Amino acid sequence: MTEETFSDEILMRFADGELDPDMVARIEQAMETDDRLVARIAVFIETRAQAQAALKPLHDEPVPEKLVAAVEQMIEAKRAGEKAAAASILPFGSGRVAGPASRSRWMLPIAASLAAAVVGGLAGYWAAATNERTQGGLWVASVIRPALAQALETVESGKEIKLAGISDRFRAIATFRNDAQDLCREFEVDSQDRSTVVSVACRSGDEWRVSFAVVAPGDAGGYAPASSTEALDAYLSAIEAGAPMSAEEEIQALAEVRRKDRK
């Protein structure tokens, strides 16, 4: 039987498992009778093993904390940016409504100047039956639905309830007055689709109007991510929101609203 000759490359591919089965079978057969072939293959198996072993300590040494921290920070920044992009703000004015496309954060001042921003699709359950649908597909919430109104007038900041009739959770965050001295409440609603809406409603005459809302992507409940509160902060400063009321002030202010409601 004539001895088949194999090139170094073929033997290396054999050693690395990068060879087709037919060739593998031929080499294996040849190895049975050719010790020198075995030795040549062994060089490739050995060099791989040795290179791996030689550089293992480099892999095992701890990554400097500074480097880990820097990378983690970049990842955090990236995630925050993604959330900000996902948080959409839709302003609406007097009947003329922009399309439902999400807005980047530079839209905030515009939204704020309109003093009325609401999120499409979500306003539906805030709105009472009297609302009219606009061409842009948004609900103009002239009056918010009773369950929410009730929550706004009763729930103390820091407390959370389930809205009557729907499973959404309502969380009161703060109470303050805007530049017109209207009573305003900042609150969050976790809706069924697991998104969190960060919102501000202000007392206008004898009703509540939602003046700001931003939907944050669903993080399965809990408080809204920082990016949506950044949007809120920009809005609050635009309406010259006063400092949050103390618990006592808030109780008094809400009681006053309820007293007026009864009249």
Partner 1 sequence: MPEKADRVQDQLVAFLPNLRRFAIALCRSRDIADDLVQRACERALANERRFEPGTRFDAWMFKILRNLWIDDIRKRKVAGPQDDIDERHDIAGISGEREVEARLALNSVAQAIGELAADQRDVLLLVCVEELSYRQAAEVLAVPIGTVMSRLARARKNLAEATGISSAPTRYPVTKGAAK
Contact range with partner 1 by CB under 8 A, out of 66-74, 89-97, 174-182, 245-253: 66-74
Of 57, 112, 64, nearest in space to 89 by CA: 112
The size of the interface with partner 1 (CB under 8 A), counted in residues, is: 37
**Pairing mode, strands 160-162 and 207-216:** unpaired
Cα distance between the two ends of the chain: 111
48 binding partner 1? (CB under 8 A): yes
Q: How far is the CB of 40 from partner 1 (least distance, A)?
A: 6
Query: Quick count: other Cβ atoms within 10 Å of Cβ 255?
Result: 12
Question: Which of 167, 225, 174, 172 has its CA nearest to residue 196?
Answer: 225
Quote the tokens at residue 252. 């008094």
x/- contact string, 72-91, with partner 1 (CB under 8 A)?
A: x-xx--xx------------
Among 1, 21, 22, 36, binds partner 1 (CB under 8 A): 36
Residue 61 or 193 with smaller CB distance to partner 1: 61
Which residue shows structure tokens 């606009």?
Answer: 134
Figure out which of the listed residues 59, 259, 262, 263 binds partner 1, where binding follows CB under 8 A: 59
The reply on whether position 258 binds partner 1 by CB under 8 A is no
Of 45-53, 107-115, 179-187, 243-251, which part binds partner 1 (CB under 8 A)?
45-53
Tokens of 208: 């509540």
Q: How far is the CB of 102 from partner 1 (least distance, A)?
A: 17
| CB 31, CB 41: distance < 8 Å | yes
Give Cβ neighbours of residue 197 (< 8 Å, ≥ 6 apart): 119, 122, 188, 189, 191, 213, 214, 215, 216
Nearer to partner 1, 57 or 205 (CB): 57
Rounded to whole angstroms, what are the CA distances from 29 to 7, 11, 12, 237? 16, 13, 16, 81
Residue whose CB is less far from partner 1, 36 or 263: 36
Footprint of partner 1 on 99-118 (CB under 8 A): none
What is the smallest separation between the CB atom of 55 and partner 1, expressed in angstroms? Answer: 5
Which residues in this chain contact partner 1 in the complex, by CB under 8 A? 8-9, 12-13, 16, 18, 36, 39-40, 42-44, 46-48, 50-55, 57-60, 63-64, 66-68, 70-72, 74-75, 78-79
